[in-house]
Structure formats: C-alpha cells, structure tokens
Amino acid sequence: MRSGETVLASYSSRSRVMLRDGGGIEVSWGALSVAMGRGEFLGFAAMLVDAFGCEARCGELASCPCGRVKRCAMGEVSLSHNGLTLWFSPDEFEEFGSLVVAARRKLADLASPSPLGVPWKPGDGGAFGLN
C-alpha cells in the first residue's frame, strides 16, 4: 500500500477495496483487480445492494449503466462490469457483495475532496490571483 491510499474494506490482502491516491477506487478479488472512478463505484455498489434485495430465484437481479447481476437456474450468480463477467457461487457472491457494500459505507464516512482543489489560506501571496 502506498502513501495516500486507504483500505475501505478487506477480507485479505487479495480481497479488498482501496481508495487510491487520486480518488479512484480499486476492487480486488483474488487475482483480479478492477479500477473505477468514485461515481462508477457508487453505482456498482448500489447495483449490488439492489441484487441482494431482489427476491427472484433466477434471471436479472439488478443492473446499472456499468453492469448487471443475474442468477442462473442452478444458483450461480453472474456479475458483469463493462466487458468483464465473473461467476460466483451464492456464498462467494454474498462475500464479494458484502465487501463492496462495506467499502461504500466507509467511503461515505470519509471527507470528500474539495471539488475546487486546494483551499486558499491567508498569506498565500495576496488576496487576488493573476488570472
């Protein structure tokens, strides 16, 4: 882990969700790591929450602009994110989803970065910029 990075949720060093230095999110599950922006991650996590709340035995459980979650007749869960599709057993899907949802909660608790950049401090060389 590099300076400026924050572990949002973790089961192990290979299964975790990280907030990267630049504000991006990295979701790691085993040997797979997927990087996404904060907004995309929030949509992805919301999709997983919807999938957990869905009562359907099979078929599409939830979707968002970046992916979808489906359950097949045998109980396996298919999770698609952009061009990537992962298959989970029901227990694995619950573990993965719980990890992402826990990371979403922690991300909400962290202070968001200033949308305008570095705040002005008195003594920065004057009250007005050259722009």
Query: Could you report the per-residue pLDDT of 56-108, keeping only the tens digit for each?
Result: 888 999 998 889 999 998 889 999 988 889 999 999 999 999 999 999 999 98
For CA atoms 9, 2, 15, 67, the dihedral sign is positive
Q: Which residues contact 30 (CB under 8 A, 6 or more apart)?
A: 14, 15
Token reading at 98: 């719980």
The number of helix segments (H) and strand segments (E) in the chain equals: 2, 8
Q: How confident is the model at residue 28, as a pLDDT?
A: 94
Phi, psi for 19 (deg, rounded to 5): -95, 115
Q: Is the pTM of this model over 0.95?
A: no
The span from the CA of 41 to the CA of 46, in Å, is 8
Question: What structural domains and CATH numbers belong to the chain?
Answer: 6-109 (2.30.31)
Instruction: Report residue 2's pLDDT band, with 50, 70 and 90 as the boundaries.
Output: low
Kindly list the distances between the CA atom of residue 90 and the CA atoms of 4, 34, 54, in Å, as whole numbers in the listed order.
34, 21, 14
The span from the CA of 43 to the CA of 27, in Å, is 14
Q: Residue 70: which of 47, 91, 100 has the closest Cα? A: 47
Q: How confident is the model at residue 128, as a pLDDT?
A: 53
Question: How many other C-beta atoms can be found within 10 angstroms of the C-beta atom of residue 93?
Answer: 23
Q: How confident is the model at residue 78, as a pLDDT?
A: 95
